[in-house]
Structure 1
Amino acid sequence: MASRLIGNLKGVGQYDHDGLLTQKFYKKLKGRSPIVGVYYSIKPVAIFIDINLIKDFASFHDRGIYYNERDDPLSTHLISLPGDKWKQLPSTCSPTFTSLKMKTMFSTMMEVEMKRKLTKFARVEKSLTLKKVMSLFTMDVIGMGGCAFGFETNSLEDENNEFFRMGISVFDNPGYSTRSTFVLQAFRGYARKLRLKLFRDEVIKFYTDFVRNTIDYRLKNKEERNDFMQILIQLHTSKREDKLSFNEVVGQTFVFHIAGFEASASILQFCFYELACNPDIQNRLRHHINQVLRKYDGEVTYEAIMDMKYLDQIVNETLRKNPPFGMLSRETTLNYKIPGTDCILEKGTSLHIPIYAIHHDPEFYPNPSKFNPDNFSEEAVKNRHPIAFLPFGAGPRACIGVRFGVMHVKLGVIAGLRKFKYTLSPKTRQPIKLQSKFFVAQPEGGIWLNIESVD
């Protein structure tokens, strides 16, 4: 009876990361079937095996993720909202991430100083756990005025500040296990009737109070800022019928804060891990960064970073080999006939797109377990299937903050690599095993690196 209730979720939350779960089905069925049907608890789910099906995002742009606006405003965000509720947000929020806006944000992002923290590790402790340092860095960038919320967390100097503590707790102390979250998604209607919340009351209260206080302060003092929070306030105070509710503002604030610092920190730690494992690539990238900066009088400018083509390849290969999310969730919004078959996925069918499996498919990436930046040379990209790289999704529900996130990561790599060299510490477990309890990829035991200063 217990196995029937679990369905194909056996191992998830115990020893299998969700990306590895879907990879098992992908490897077993590729070439034999365009999709595979599995059960998450007693809920049927279709996993796409044929990469050509994934292009048709218009037929299944909803994510089918559980949210409960009444009791848990943090769940009411851009990633989870369906249909018309979702359509309003990308067009109104996307101006935050234009090239012009990114240039404006850039000078603010540069104010976050990571060098002093790394110098301390290099001189005193000689080793560091990457995730913590990168989380402190990304938290400070997210909070800076002109970027997202207009407050300074100063996490690199004060690790006990409330924003860092609360943000980390979302992942270290989640409301539900990974397996329970899958079950919650499968029975969304019942979960809402039972008024179940995805997040703990402490976390909900923290973000709700922050948003309420920020809105009240800016309206009372007639203060307007050119940041993400200001766009949300305008959508909330608008006289339009489809204006954002207060809870929806809380939801967008939460997801931008959490996704912005956690996903970026995860990418950075894997990037430095790969560089430590591949010293030749690390030295080449450091040389490339310094060579490009000489063209810009040693200044780290927006234009200089755009000129760092090898850095692009390094970041993309990190995202290929270690994607932050192992799979994408979708739900059909129309009946969908699978091309070349008589099979119809009825409206409301849950879908999973196996990102991790596709990124580790030797058809698209020869020797996929090897870290190889040449996978993203111009020629390699041109000759590869366009859907074979999906770290942030694709189609209308791709992440709208990709530019910000990638810039965030590049700044972290430059700041961490220009004056420091990294080698693998014996504290790092080899081979890396992904923790099963997190949706955002995290290695068991963390990543520890030895650090030393370079001239």
Structure 2
Amino acid sequence: MLAVVGFLAYVIITALVGLVTAAVIYVRWHYGTLEKVKGLPAVVKPAIVGGSDVYIHKKIVHDQDSENVKKYGKIYGYYEGRQPQIYIADPELVRQIFIKDFDHFQTKRIMDFGHALINEMMDILPYDKWKVVRSSLSPSLTTGKIRHMSIEMTEAIQDWVGTVGEKLKNNEPFEPKRLYTALTSDVVARCGFGTKVNSLHDPNDIFVQHTRKFGTEDLEINFMLPVTQTFPFLISLAPFFPPDTLDFFANIVKNVMKSRRESNTKISDFIDSLNEMMEKVGTEEYKKLGITVNTVLCQALIFFLAGFETTATTMTFLSYSLAKNPKVQEKLLEEVDAYLARHDGKIEHETIGEMTYLAACMNETLRMYAPLVRVERVCTKDWYHEPTGLRIPKGMVVQVPIHAIHYNEEYFPDPHSFKPERFLPENKDKMNPYAFLSFGMGPHNCIGMRFAKEEIQLAMTNLLRNYEFRPNASTKIKYHPGRTFLLQVKPFTLDAIRRTKFLKGETI
């Protein structure tokens, strides 16, 4: 009996040792890859397992990226879990990779986010598939289409400003992220989903509840981040987006698309573009590319996620920056008043472009608080950069740490100061155009850039005609740790002070 027990113990121990050994070999399989890359000046040494930073979930990632650039230089290697990556914080190399030699860097990583719908987001599709999807959706986001959508935007914004005014009269605090998220979700619901909601009036609405879950702001990043980076197949145990929320929004999109088809109504907007794609599902072209119903629905989900989260974040930081820089705010308010006086108090798409200082404030906010932490590309064929001697092999992931470039004094003098003048038209030639990466760059840049800028400028002008911002004791920036994709900040409040200067007959 003892012999049998001993034998079983031996078998179990041997199996466990074999399993652990296999796991260690698996997670370390690519270690040493970066050290062999020619022309790569430095590599962040990996731990025994877990990559170059096993505590990434506890760190403010964009700050850590900046520290790495200071320590290792503008080009260095880094292991994200078991995956080797090359980090580049040089605008000239960014230009080469993102634009000039785009044929060598046509894709991003194909990733598993734990749900079939979200796995089909446009930016991570294989190149041929991405190209067709992007060309199908781009016509719905042209300047002309944005002009049409600006009417819906303005209606949503004016409703929102009125509701905010009521809450402020009741001495409710101005919580920028919460309030702006309510606005941007309403705008995207109207312009992208063809449905009206008012998040501030009914915070218990099921649409609002799922919007909060979709934003992932309350998601606590824990040790599962480095674990899933090391064992990517475990992502299903910790999906990035709540599955029930993805299903909820997918059903809304399906119903809106179906209603549009049944009514035979076409207004050449985002929903119409999705319906046109849906009609092609099943064709030989789409079958060959693997474009399915999930592919179509996913684009709507990403339009919603990117449309409300990043825009709300930008307006939050813009308001913060104005409160903390009263001279800048005073200059902007003067521009707002002059604009309103010229146009009889009307704020419209056709004239909002006159607000050059507002645009500069928006861009300076995007520089200091870029919503995206990093942008990436995957090398699709071996690439050589003669000036540096860097050779990037096929299959290598290239990461560009946005904040490390945006805070480099070489490209933006006095980078920690909020100076919108950098982005005024007369200073355009003084700036390196490849050092500003808030919307990405090249063919893979943000497809919704025009939409986002239009919404921000219309919203801020409507708000600043009535209010100005001042800081209070809670007005402090505290970032959520472990954010490797979107910059997210912990809630804070501002004082929104009713302005005493109004145009004749103006009320709120």
Normalising by structure 1, we get a TM-score of 0.90
More helix, by proportion: 2
3-state SS of 2:398 partner: strand
Deviations 1:311-340 (A, max 9, x none): 110100000111001211221111111333
Q: Is the 8 A contact 2:82 2:229 kept in 1?
A: no
Q: Which has the larger radius of gyration?
A: 2
Deviations 1:116-143, CA, capped at 9 Å, x for gaps: 2221233222532110000011111111
Q: Distance in 2 between matches of 1:178 and 1:44?
A: 22
- Secondary structure, aligned partner of 2:376: strand
The 1:341–1:298 alpha-carbon spacing in structure 2 relative to 1, beyond 3 Å, is closer
Q: CA deviation at 1:354?
A: 1.1
Seen in structure 2, the aligned counterparts of structure 1 residues 341 and 283 have a Cα distance that, compared at 3 Å, is closer
Q: Using the TM superposition, give the Cα deviation of residue 98 of structure 1 relative to its aligned residue in structure 2, in angstroms.
A: 1.4
Matched, 1:426 2:473: yes
CA distance in 1, matches of 2:118, 2:78: 29
Classify the secondary structure of the residue corresponding to 2:60.
coil
Match of 2:164 in 1: 118
Distance 1:227 1:178, change over 3 A: farther
User: Which one of 110, 123, 128 corresponds to residue 79 of structure 1?
Assistant: 123
1:211 to 239, 253, 275: 253
Q: Which of residues 171, 177, 185 in structure 2 aligns to 1:139?
A: 185
SS at match of 2:346: coil
Provide the C-alpha distance between the structure 1 equivalents of 2:141 and 2:222, rounded to a whole number of angstroms.
Answer: 31
TM-superposed deviation, 1:294: 1.7
Q: Which residue of 1 aligns with 2:95?
A: 55
Match of 2:86 among 35, 46, 54: 46
Once the two structures are TM-superposed, the CA of residue 9 in structure 1 deviates from its matched residue by 2.8
Query: CA 1:421 to 1:68, structure 2 compared with 1: closer, same or farther past 3 Å?
Result: closer
Answer yes or no: is 1:36 the counterpart of 2:82: no
d(CA) in 2 for partners of 1:354 and 1:363?
A: 15
CA distance in 1, matches of 2:63, 2:386: 27
CA contact (8 A) 1:8 1:38 kept: yes
- Structure 2 residue matching 1:91: 3-state secondary structure: helix
Give the whole-Å Cα distance in 2 for the aligned partners of 1:165 and 1:281.
Answer: 36
Corresponding letter in the other structure for 2:178 = K
Q: Distance in 2 between matches of 1:109 and 1:409?
A: 10
Q: Deviations over 1:21-56 (max 9, x none)?
A: 2211212233xxx52001111211100133211112
SS of equivalent residue, structure 1 residue 344: strand
Q: Which amino acid aligns with 1:53?
A: L
Say whether 1:286 aligns with 2:370: no
Secondary structure (helix, strand or coil) at the match of 1:351 reads: strand
Instruction: Tell me if structure 1 keeps the 8 A contact 2:250–2:301.
Output: no
Alignment partner, residue 236 of structure 1: 278
* Change over 3 Å in CA distance of 1:240–1:178 after alignment to 2: farther
Aligned to 1:308: 355
Aligned residues between the structures: 443
- C-alpha displacement of 1:427: 1.7
Q: Distance in 1 between matches of 2:109 and 2:324?
A: 38
The aligned counterpart of 2:197 is 153
Instruction: Please say which of residues 212-221 and 45-54 is displaced more in the overlay.
Output: 212-221
Unaligned runs of 5+ in 1: none
For residue 268 of structure 1, report the CA deviation from its aligned partner.
Answer: 0.3
Q: Which residue of 1 aligns with 2:16?
A: none
* 1:375 is aligned to 2:419: no
Query: Contact 2:180 / 2:312 at 8 angstroms: preserved in 1?
Result: yes
Counterpart-to-counterpart distance in 2, 1:12 and 1:74: 24
Report if the CA contact (8 A) 1:276-1:422 is conserved: yes
The residue identity in structure 1 corresponding to 2:344 is: D
Cα gap change, 1:68 to 1:214, in 2 (>3 Å)? same
User: Which string of whole-angstrom CA distances, capped at 9 and with x for unpartnered residues, describes residues 257-299 of structure 1?
Assistant: 0110000000000000000011121121111012012222211
Moved more, 274-283 or 173-182: 173-182
The alpha carbon displacement at 1:181 in A equals 5.2
1:311 and 1:173, CA in 2 relative to 1: closer, same or farther beyond 3 A? closer
8 Å Cα contact 1:293/1:304 also seen in 2: no
Q: Measure, in 1, the Cα distance between the counterparts of 2:293 and 2:229.
A: 24
Q: Following the alignment from structure 1 to structure 2, what is the Cα–Cα distance between the partners of residues 428 and 248?
A: 41
**What is the CA RMSD across the aligned residues, in angstroms?**
2.4
- Of 35, 47, 50, the match for 1:6: 50
Match of 1:394 among 432, 435, 441: 441
Q: What fraction of aligned residue pairs are identical, expressed as a percent? A: 27
TM-score (norm 2): 0.81
Q: Deviations over 1:223-254 (max 9, x none)?
A: 43432122011111127433441101121011
